[in-house]
């Protein structure tokens, strides 16, 4: 009888944990639940983030949400990093770039393996100069795109990748005029490989997210912002 009660309690706790886990529909490295990004922007960012993962094992998840549903932006970012196991196993070099419209909140969350390589001051500078200025004008798509490109370059440098291949054009800082060109473009023939990778990333199995590296170590280090 006692064993049955313990089994019941364990099952109840497991169901409670699953109920609280965030469920996202990833297209590659992007879960645009708030429908802010165009297909072209998603494709270009995915190509860039795929190259980053291939060369360093690092994962950057770009996530937009209509609402945090009563949670803090810090809680949700941590949940995403841990649930979808961002970063390579043993390296935990994942990052979450989260934006929530209803609360007007954003968060850049660092995996444990990046905490000693990327300073909070660096993240705050990206937040204040590359992302928030666009958000204040409700130009979320451009702010997200610029933020994702700049973060990809920062993670690449932190992981010793000097030849990150960038697809598309990184929008300039809001105070700048003209456009910013990227160093090197990914060839057309690489697209099918990214599309196949995206298909696998869209499936969850065995308690882990197949497209990310399987790390998931996050300790709560990062920076948040509002506008």
pLDDT digits (tens, 9 = 90+) for 5-42: 544 444 444 444 444 557 899 999 999 999 999 999 99
CB 97 within 8 A of CB 223: no
Long-range contacts of 173-179 (CB under 8 A, 24+ apart): 173/129, 173/130, 173/133, 173/146, 174/133, 174/134, 174/137, 175/133
In the predicted model, what is the mean pLDDT of residues 74-84? 97
What are the residues facing 98 on neighbouring strands? 63, 107
Higher pLDDT, 180 or 130: 130
pLDDT band of residue 74 (cuts 50, 70, 90) is very high
- 209 pLDDT above the threshold of 50: no
Share of the chain above pLDDT 70, in %: 75
User: What was the pLDDT predicted at 175?
Assistant: 66
| C-alpha distance across the termini of the chain, in Å | 56
Structural domains in the chain?
A: 26-226 (3.10.310.50)
- In this predicted model, which residue has the larger pLDDT, 70 or 201? 70
Mean pLDDT of 110-136: 98
Full-model pTM? 0.79
**Residue scoring higher pLDDT (12 or 63):** 63
């Amino acid at each position: 009888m006692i064993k049955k009660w313990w089994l019941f309690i364990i099952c109840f706790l497991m169901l409670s944990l699953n109920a609280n886990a965030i469920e996202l529909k990833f297209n590659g490295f992007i879960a645009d639940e708030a429908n802010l990004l165009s297909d072209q922007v998603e494709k270009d960012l995915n190509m860039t983030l795929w190259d980053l993962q291939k060369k360093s094992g690092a994962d950057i998840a770009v996530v937009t949400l209509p609402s945090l549903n009563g949670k803090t932006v810090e809680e949700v970012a941590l949940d995403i990093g841990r649930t979808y196991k961002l970063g390579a196993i043993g390296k935990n070099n994942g990052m979450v770039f989260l934006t929530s419209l209803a609360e007007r909140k954003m968060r850049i969350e660092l995996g444990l393996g990046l905490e000693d390589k990327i300073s909070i001051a660096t993240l705050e500078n990206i937040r204040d100069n590359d992302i928030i200025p666009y958000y204040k004008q409700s130009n979320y798509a451009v702010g997200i795109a610029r933020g994702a490109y700049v973060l990809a370059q920062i993670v690449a440098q932190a992981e010793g990748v000097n030849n990150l291949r960038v697809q598309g054009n990184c929008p300039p800082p809001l105070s700048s005029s003209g456009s910013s060109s990227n160093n090197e473009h990914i060839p057309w023939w690489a697209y099918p490989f990214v599309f196949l990778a995206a298909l696998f990333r869209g499936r969850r199995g065995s308690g882990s997210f197949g497209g990310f590296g399987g790390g998931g170590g996050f300790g709560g280090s990062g920076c948040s912002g509002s506008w």
